[in-house]
Amino acid sequence: MGKKLLLKNDHITGIQGYDVYRREGGYASVEKALKTMTPEAVVEEVKKSGLRGRGGAGFPTGMKWSFLAKPPGVARYLVCNADESEPGTFKDRYLMERIPHLLIEGMITSSFALGANTSYIYIRGEYYYVARILEKAIDEAYANGWLGQNILGSGYSLDLYVQVGAGAYICGEETALLESLEGKRGNPRIKPPFPAVAGLYGCPTVVNNVETIAAVVPIVNDGGDEYAKVGIGKSTGTKLISASGHINKPGVYEIEMGITVEDFIYSDEYCGGIRNGKKLKAVVAGGSSVPILPAHLILKTSAGEKRLMSYESLADGGFATGTMLGSGGFIVMDEDTSIVKNLWNFTRFYHHESCGQCSPCREGTGWMEKILHRILEGHGSMSDVDLLWDIQGKIEGKTICPLGDAAAWPVAAAIRHFRSEFEDYIKNPKNIRDVKHYYRLNNLVEA
């Protein structure tokens, strides 16, 4: 059994409520930080821990915190990004609904470290019921003196709010999230200025993922060095993985970073192998936006080494033969999966979720969906594959926010690794059976 730092108590009955959580040692990090540490010391522990952002980009959290501008007399904010919307990713939801107080505790300790006296949890609208769970936990925290004025007599005060989004993927992008939190249309902001300088209401702001903030709790409790001992290389600690697709045991797993991908897919502790004894075809390892890899490249790197569940190993080989750990949305596809159809489904999503601000993304995502749809309808031509390649290349890195990249990468990777499947659809339209059926079944409007 691997070490668990976040979910070690998730099986305990009543852990959702304050009393059980507290009985199991909850809020110790707040006590420790507020009573025995300075904010700078907390930041130092987080730096030592090597914790990296769990939302997808993997940026070192301690460094992000140290970038926070601290002009005198100006408020600072901590905003928790709970807008978990990446297809294939559901770990934050699990954490929040199972152990809501862990996030609240992490928010208090982190806010203290950053000198924020008002903090927000921005949660996606679809998680409305989870927002209710968090609000209840916040009420309990206020009632027990962990939130409000002068917490534990330390002189430190914090108000914590939950804000529910209105159902836009784009609001998971940190600046769009801030716009939405301010009550505006959720369009990403141009950078600079970065949120660390001018974020929420123009004030210095840190935006962190749910899992990142939760990880601050064991870091403060056990010390950054202790946390850094778990994991491998610069991928320290544990990571929550949302496993889905054609596997025997889908679900959320807390893994120690550094286990092999093969272990993760096939061991009984985790996914338990491919469903119905089928063969593995491909994996999207870090949420729908990261490049898809065929079986041979996900299990081993191009150099023939075993691929590990870590930031570095998954990225080994760059986009040519590697991928990203991303948000840990691990989607497994068996031998019967149509890569083209799967890709079309992903592009539908990004077309639907593009905010419409940047012209390449607004127009390009639509055309990628339309062209894939055309291929799946049996009306594709060989030049369509090149056109797809062209469009994704004009979106990637050419937009204000990373949604453009997220929309472009799956297309690029699918063509890179599975070009023949596209060509097969185009050459043999008879292989296509059920696209229209799929539309009718799911009550969708054709593009």
The residues of the shown chain that bind another protein, judged by CB under 8 A, are: 168, 170, 185, 187, 190, 192, 351-360, 362-367, 370, 387, 390-391, 394, 397-400, 447
For residue 57, the minimal CB distance to another protein (Å) is 17
For residue 312, the minimal CB distance to another protein (Å) is 21
Could you tell me how many residues make up the chain? 447
For residue 389, the minimal CB distance to another protein (Å) is 12
Closest to another protein by CB, 300 vs 394, is 394
Closest to another protein by CB, 192 vs 277, is 192
Closest to another protein by CB, 136 vs 398, is 398
For residue 327, the minimal CB distance to another protein (Å) is 22
Closest to another protein by CB, 217 vs 447, is 447
For residue 278, the minimal CB distance to another protein (Å) is 36
Question: Parallel, antiparallel, or unpaired for β 118-123 and 77-82?
Answer: parallel
Closest to another protein by CB, 64 vs 351, is 351
CA distance 104 to 134: 8
Quick check: 418 and 295 in contact, CB under 8 A? no
Closest to another protein by CB, 26 vs 364, is 364
How many C-beta atoms surround the C-beta of residue 427 within 10 A?
12
Distance linking the first and last C-alpha atoms of the chain? 47
For residue 394, the minimal CB distance to another protein (Å) is 4
For residue 71, the minimal CB distance to another protein (Å) is 14
Return the HEC string of the chain: CCCCCCCCCCCCCCCCCHHHHHHCCCCHHHHHHHHHCCHHHHHHHHHHHCCECCCCCCCEHHHHHHCCCCCCCCCCEEEEEECCCCCCCCHHHHHHHHCHHHHHHHHHHHHHHHCCCEEEEEECHHHHHHHHHHHHHHHHHHHCCCCECCHHHCCCCEEEEEEECCCCHHHHCHHHHHHHHCCCCCCCCCCCCCCCCCCHHHCCEEEEEHHHHHHHHHHHHHCHHHHHHCEECCEECEEEEEEEECECCCEEEEEECCCEHHHHHHCCCCCCCEHHHCCEEEEECCCCCCCEEEHHHHHECCCCCECECCHHHHHCCHHHHCCCCCCCEEEEEECCCCHHHHHHHHHHHHHHHCCCCCHHHHHHHHHHHHHHHHHHCCCCCHHHHHHHHHHHHHHCCCCCCCHHHHHHHHHHHHHHHHHHHHHHHHHCHHHCCCHHHHHHHCCCCCC
For residue 425, the minimal CB distance to another protein (Å) is 18
Closest to another protein by CB, 177 vs 217, is 177
Question: Parallel, antiparallel, or unpaired for β 329-334 and 205-209?
Answer: unpaired
Closest to another protein by CB, 40 vs 390, is 390
For residue 298, the minimal CB distance to another protein (Å) is 27
For residue 50, the minimal CB distance to another protein (Å) is 27
Closest to another protein by CB, 253 vs 409, is 409
Closest to another protein by CB, 295 vs 358, is 358
